[in-house]
Amino acid sequence: MSAVEIIAALLGVANVGLLVRRSIWNYPFGLAMVALYGWVFFDARLYSDAALQVFFFVVQIYGWWNWYGAREGDGLVRVETMSMASRLTWTAVIAAATLGEGWYLAHYTADAAPWLDANTTAMSVVAQYLLSVRKIENWIIWIATDVIQIGLYYWKGLYPTTALYAVFLALSVLGFIEWRRQIAPRAVGA
């Protein structure tokens, strides 16, 4: 456990708490969090998770821009649902990316958990993208990812990060519920 990991975890709680509320101000906290977690995961030899932080940094900037243009009158972001075809496509993307990256990590790196690392990376990439384009299904993927990552990070002795992902799991469930409530009035009025 390091001070950097603890600070990153606290920034993560602020980031996801603001995401649940659909606040655009989640992004400064998210950018700082992923910058610090890049180092934490590299140091823990979770190379895919470390590289993922670079992707998250870029997508955080994109999401900030996208959310800025999608605010409603109350200043909060408008959310949407995906079609069944989109859901199936993104599920296939996760499966293919897991197989490809898992094989690579298992054969060419000293990754501590290549298949789990690859799977959580694939799910995180898809969930983060769907979050940046305001799709409610991002929360379902985050819930699945958080469950796996809780076990992985505990196994690696990253206890503040394990606790963070337990909080992320609870916030992801809350995020899904809150975003669903935001969609429900529009569905009734349609």
Domain extents in the chain: 3-189
Question: Could you give the CA distance from residue 136 to residue 130 in angstroms, rounded to a whole number?
Answer: 8
119 contacts: CB under 8 Å, gap ≥ 6: 94, 98, 102, 148
Beta strands in the chain (DSSP E): none
Question: Could you give the CA distance from residue 158 to residue 43 in angstroms, rounded to a whole number?
Answer: 11
The pLDDT of residue 31: 96
**Rounded to two decimals, what is the model's pTM?**
0.83
- Report helix, strand or coil for 135: strand
Residue 73's Cβ-count burial label (10 Å; 0-12, 13-18, 19+) is exposed
Rg of the chain (C-alpha set): 16
Q: What backbone phi and psi angles, to 5 degrees, belong to 23?
A: -95, 130
Q: How far is CA 6 from CA 13, 18, 158, in A?
A: 11, 19, 10
Segment-wise mean pLDDT, segments of 10 residues, the chain, 190 residues: 87 89 91 94 83 90 88 81 97 98 93 91 94 94 96 89 91 94 66
Q: Which single residue is written with the structure tokens 């501590």? A: 112
The pLDDT of residue 16: 87
Task: Provide the 8-state DSSP code for 76.
Answer: P
- For residues 71 and 24, the answer to whether their CB atoms sit within 8 Å is yes
Strand partners, 71: 77
The pLDDT of residue 173: 96
Residue 28's Cβ-count burial label (10 Å; 0-12, 13-18, 19+) is middle
- The single-letter code of the amino acid at 84 is M
61 contacts: CB under 8 Å, gap ≥ 6: 27, 31
